[in-house]
Structure 1
Amino acid sequence: MSLLENLQWRHAVKAYDPTKKVAKEDLNRILEAARLAPTSSGLQPFRIISVENQELKEKMVAGALNPEVMRDCSHVLVFAAWDSYSEEKIDKVYDYHTDVRELPRGRFGSYTDQLKKMYGAQTADQHFAHTARQTYIALGLAMAQAAELKIDSTPAEGFSNEVVDKILGLREMGLKSVSLLYLGYRDEERDWLSSMKKVRIPMEEFVISQ
């Protein structure tokens, strides 16, 4: 199937079959799609925490707006962004870039100096607003890859960031949760949305040509 056909197929599943689990190989393909997502200056300022452990999911349910979805899905992917930029983080990323490309460290020094100056003039809140936006590109690619594999997904912002961050120890890692992606297989009988038509506004309204 084409990408557009896969996107027509998928929807935000409202009920998962708890007996069906996503295979490790398929999960890795979804995570790889997210890892390959473009990010501002190539900094990849976020991480994905993949939660399969049922006991851990049960703890996270306390902070979920749709607890049954979290409880019954196969995996919960937590997209968590850096809480701030720092010179050390920027240098670490670019040292990795130059090492992989077999270039001398500091090869991009003039550019990283600009980044450090720009972010150095901003607040931590401004930093997080920027890093959080980067996660959504990866979230979209993860959903597209899941759809290609005919794995259901549900993106979610309806959860307590404080609860999830505390349970997963994200603040100690310099991370703050942004969104969740539930993965698994729909329960046809309980997923009330699966029998309904997919609805989007018409193309002529959606696209403004000038």
Structure 2
Amino acid sequence: MSSIESLQWRYAVKKFDNTRSISEDQIAILKEAFNLTATSYGLQPIKLVIIKNKEIQKSLVEHSWNQEQVAQASHLLVICTQNIVDKDSVEHYFKMVKEIRNTPDEILDPFKNYLSDSISQKTKEEIKTWAKNQAYLALGNLLTICALEKIDSCPMEGFIPEKYDETLKLQAQNLSAALVLPVGYRAEDDFMKDLKKVRKSMSEMVLEIH
């Protein structure tokens, strides 16, 4: 199946088959894809929480506008943002660059100093918005990889982040829940399964400048 056929195949699942689980190999692919997602400056101010504890999944349904996919799914992925992104975060990133690429300090320092100053001047709200933008990049990447790997999914903004933070004890990890992605296999009786996609025409969506 081509990449376009895979994207045609995917849809936001409304009912998962709760008798089927995705494999550890598939989870490993999703983890790797998440880690390889492009992020602004390469700082990766996000983290992926993977839940396969059915009791926890069930407890989160009431904090997800009663969307049962959260409990039905094989695994529940929660994309989180770091609550604190500061000069130490920048320092950690450039330390990795130096270790992995062996780049000299005289090349790294100008950009490192610029980035440290830029981050330090942002308000908490600006950092939160910027980090959440990176979470959306990761979500888009995961949706595509799920389609290519024939893993069903349902991207969700409809949940109460504070309740997720509380249930999963995310504050202790300097994290806040940003987006939710149940993954697994579509149920045979999901009413959405065989419906045609509804999309604007290509001429409405794409502007080509020659």
Q: Place the TM-score, normalised by the shorter chain, in its bin.
A: over 0.9
| Offset at residue 204 of structure 1 (A) | 0.5
| Offset at residue 131 of structure 1 (A) | 0.7
| Offset at residue 103 of structure 1 (A) | 3.6
Cα distance between partner residues in 2 of 1:199 and 1:66: 25
Contact 1:95 1:106 (C-alpha < 8 Å) held by counterparts: no
TM-score, normalised by the number of residues in structure 1: 0.94
Contact 1:12 1:153 (C-alpha < 8 Å) held by counterparts: yes
Q: How many residues align?
A: 209
Please give the residue correspondences for 1:15-94 in structure 2 after superposition, counting only pairs within 5 Å.
15-94=15-94
Deviates more, 1:74-83 or 1:58-67: 58-67
Secondary structure at the aligned position of 1:71 is classed as helix
**Deviations 1:171-208, CA, capped at 9 Å, x for gaps:** 2222111101110001121x111121011111101113
| Offset at residue 63 of structure 1 (A) | 0.5
Give 1:126's aligned residue: 126
CA RMSD of aligned residues (A): 1.4
TM-score, normalised by the number of residues in structure 2: 0.94
| Offset at residue 16 of structure 1 (A) | 0.4
Please give the residue correspondences for 1:140-151 in structure 2 after superposition, counting only pairs within 5 Å.
140-151=140-151
Whichever residue aligns with residue 166 of structure 2, its letter is: K
Secondary structure at the aligned position of 1:155 is classed as coil
Give 2:197's aligned residue: 198
Matched, 1:117 2:117: yes
Against the structure 1 CA distance between its residues 148 and 94, is the aligned structure 2 distance closer, same or farther, given a 3 Å change threshold?
same
Against the structure 1 CA distance between its residues 186 and 113, is the aligned structure 2 distance closer, same or farther, given a 3 Å change threshold?
same
Cα distance between partner residues in 1 of 2:104 and 2:203: 51
Give 1:180's aligned residue: 180
Cα distance between partner residues in 1 of 2:105 and 2:131: 24
| Offset at residue 66 of structure 1 (A) | 4.1
